[in-house]
Structure 1
Amino acid sequence: MRTAVNNLRDRFRTDGYAFPLDALTPEEAARALTDCRTYLRAVSSVGGAMAQYAMFPKIHLVATWADRLVHHPALLGLAESLLGPDLMVWSTNLFTRPAHSGGSLAWHQDAVYLGLNGYQEHAVRVWVALTDTTAANGTMRYSRGSHAQGALAHRWGGTHIEDIMRGEEVAVEVDESSSVAVVLTAGQCSAHHLAMVHCSGANTTDHSRYNFAIDYISPKVRPTEGEDSALTVRGEGGSGFLPEARPLSDFHPDAVRQFYAATARRQARIDHTVRHRSTT
């Protein structure tokens, strides 16, 4: 067991990622996918801020299926092997790619948008496949070892609508030969450093792709400025984040109030981070 943990930690430190990692059983993945689709229909019918923030950053605060995943023993064990025994969930995100959709994301890093101190050693994004994840359905591609460069400058790749939709891209050349496609079967996951340079492609298949991402952090992480919140899921939490509570049921009134407060707080911080980046 110790050897396996050390090997995982070494892979993560050297390459900036590790996959494929077994996490959910096929039955658990199928149940999560069904619950995810039900959740998306529900928030779409509600509309407003609930629909606006359906895909990020606090799904686990209102949806019991997401809360169940962030507490899954296999995922907690993975996060603990990389970060230590004290764990918080800072964010949850859904990444979907509909069948025959042409959308793609440029080479970029997540870290530059998040406004976190200490992410370099004390944070990990775990990307769980709720469906099979392949090059054909637009899975992520990692640029091996790119996390070691730290946070990089980003730029827009062009002025056409396609360039804008692809998002900002790192202002350095990416060695395509160093890239690797994150191929997973439903229930498996990958783990990557928040400074990992990555991209994703179009889905040319007849089936939609669903991935659920969890940002685990240790209490050593702090927001760069302003209030933020996180959910303690193992061990002790940290004083740098306001505490969050697990939902008693799907869309419980207390959970919804917490969700609205937490997402507003997070969006204010992200907006400030983006504005600061644009002026420096």
Structure 2
Amino acid sequence: MTTLAPDLAERFRTDGFAFPVNALTPAEAEQALAGCHTYLRTVSAAGGALARYAAFPKIHLVASWADRIVHHPAILDAVEALLGPELLVWSTNLFVRPAHSGSSLAWHQDAVYLGLDGYQQHAARVWVALTDTTVANGTMRYARGSHLGGALPHRFSGSGLEDIMRGEEIAVDIDEAATVDVILNAGQCSVHHLAMAHCSGPNHTDAGRFNFAIDYVTPRVRPTAGEDSALLVRGADPGAFLPESRPASDFDQAALREFYAAVARRQKRIDQTVLGRGGKPGGDPARDGAQDRAQDPA
């Protein structure tokens, strides 16, 4: 009773990714995209921490459209097939590549920024397409099997503004013959290992690309240092994470209190991770969204 076929589960283990996984129906994807647009307008008008953390890392704590996605049975069934029956949502991220955006992101791994122990076997990122994702609109590219080498060294490829905006790049050559473009219809998703090397390109189309990413972990994952929190979505064991609660409604007072506490806690940990790598505090946990900061081009 899972949307992830056995061959895709094997591909996740060997290749480091699996797609396409059928998740949201077309109607659900359309509804989620509309909710996303409303959410972006609301947080932009509110300003402050809501605007600063609009794209990461706890969208699901204040937005009902995001809460519905992280609890979607088809997605949870797929992740359970990979990680087992005890599942927590550690982070949610919104990646927007506006129409005719020249932004691109260098080859990198998510794992080096997250400060998590146990992610190698007990975590996965689900990348949900709220719009179609194509080469033309700058979809992700995976480097097949790159997760097998664990966390790789990263560096900036140059000192120019464009190099800095593209982000840190894996300091190892990528075999272009092993790369795969993540082509999805709205409502479908891909699942990848947190050590999967990936990049993305510019959007040459007339429409924005919207993707919602969910980091699922099991109780066997632990923060490398400091307190952290997560939302239990299947099973009963929160592991080392402080428990989070679902929002009763969009931006209700209890949800806002939980959101502010959770993002402050997470940013403190991310800063520790970034400083440990020789970076500067205030680093972006959703580094894929560095240029694609949450905005609503509609």
Instruction: Give TM-score, length-normalised by structure 1.
Output: 0.98
Q: Is 1:26 aligned to residue 21 of structure 2?
A: no
Secondary structure of 1:278's partner? coil
| d(CA) in 2 for partners of 1:2, 1:252 | 33
| d(CA) in 2 for partners of 1:24, 1:181 | 21
Residue aligning to 1:202? 202
Q: Which amino acid aligns with 1:174?
A: I
| d(CA) in 2 for partners of 1:221, 1:142 | 24
| d(CA) in 1 for partners of 2:219, 2:28 | 29
Q: Which amino acid aligns with 2:232?
A: T
Q: Is the 8 A contact 1:106 1:169 kept in 2?
A: yes
Q: Is the 8 A contact 2:3 2:22 kept in 1?
A: no
Secondary structure of 1:219's partner? coil
Q: Which amino acid aligns with 2:73?
A: P
How far residue 5 of structure 1 moved from its aligned partner, in angstroms, is 4.5
Residue aligning to 1:6? 6
How far residue 233 of structure 1 moved from its aligned partner, in angstroms, is 0.3
Residue aligning to 1:262? 262
Q: Which amino acid aligns with 1:67?
A: D
Give percent identity, aligned residues only. 69
Secondary structure of 2:231's partner? strand
Q: Is 1:244 aligned to residue 257 of structure 2?
A: no
Q: Is the 8 A contact 1:96 1:210 kept in 2?
A: yes
Unaligned stretches of 5+ residues in structure 1? none
Q: Is 1:114 aligned to residue 114 of structure 2?
A: yes
Describe how 1:132-147 pairs up with structure 2 within 5 A: 132-147=132-147
The number of residue pairs the alignment matches comes to 279
For 1:85-137, what per-residue CA distance to the aligned partner results, in whole angstroms no more than 9, with x for missing partners?
01000000000100000001000000000000000000000000000000000
Describe how 1:105-184 pairs up with structure 2 within 5 A: 105-184=105-184
For 1:63-84, what per-residue CA distance to the aligned partner results, in whole angstroms no more than 9, with x for missing partners?
0110010000001001100000
| d(CA) in 2 for partners of 1:206, 1:41 | 20
Secondary structure of 2:207's partner? coil
How far residue 140 of structure 1 moved from its aligned partner, in angstroms, is 0.2
How far residue 238 of structure 1 moved from its aligned partner, in angstroms, is 2.5
Secondary structure of 1:31's partner? helix
Structure 2 CA distance for partners of 1:2 and 1:258, relative to 1, 3 Å: closer
Secondary structure of 2:35's partner? helix
How far residue 177 of structure 1 moved from its aligned partner, in angstroms, is 1.4
| d(CA) in 2 for partners of 1:189, 1:80 | 15
Unaligned stretches of 5+ residues in structure 2? 280-298
| d(CA) in 2 for partners of 1:65, 1:241 | 24
| d(CA) in 2 for partners of 1:12, 1:113 | 21
Structure 2 CA distance for partners of 1:5 and 1:161, relative to 1, 3 Å: same
Q: Is the 8 A contact 2:2 2:78 kept in 1?
A: no
Q: Is the 8 A contact 2:2 2:77 kept in 1?
A: no
| d(CA) in 1 for partners of 2:250, 2:210 | 20
How far residue 278 of structure 1 moved from its aligned partner, in angstroms, is 1.3
| d(CA) in 2 for partners of 1:153, 1:104 | 20
| d(CA) in 2 for partners of 1:23, 1:132 | 13
Secondary structure of 1:269's partner? helix
How far residue 3 of structure 1 moved from its aligned partner, in angstroms, is 11
Structure 2 CA distance for partners of 1:158 and 1:72, relative to 1, 3 Å: same
Instruction: Give TM-score, length-normalised by structure 2.
Output: 0.92
How far residue 2 of structure 1 moved from its aligned partner, in angstroms, is 8.5
Residue aligning to 2:35? 35
For 1:153-199, what per-residue CA distance to the aligned partner results, in whole angstroms no more than 9, with x for missing partners?
10011111000000001010011111110000000000000000000
Q: Is the 8 A contact 1:58 1:263 kept in 2?
A: yes
Question: 4+ residue runs of structure 1 moved beyond 6 angstroms?
Answer: none
| d(CA) in 1 for partners of 2:201, 2:237 | 37
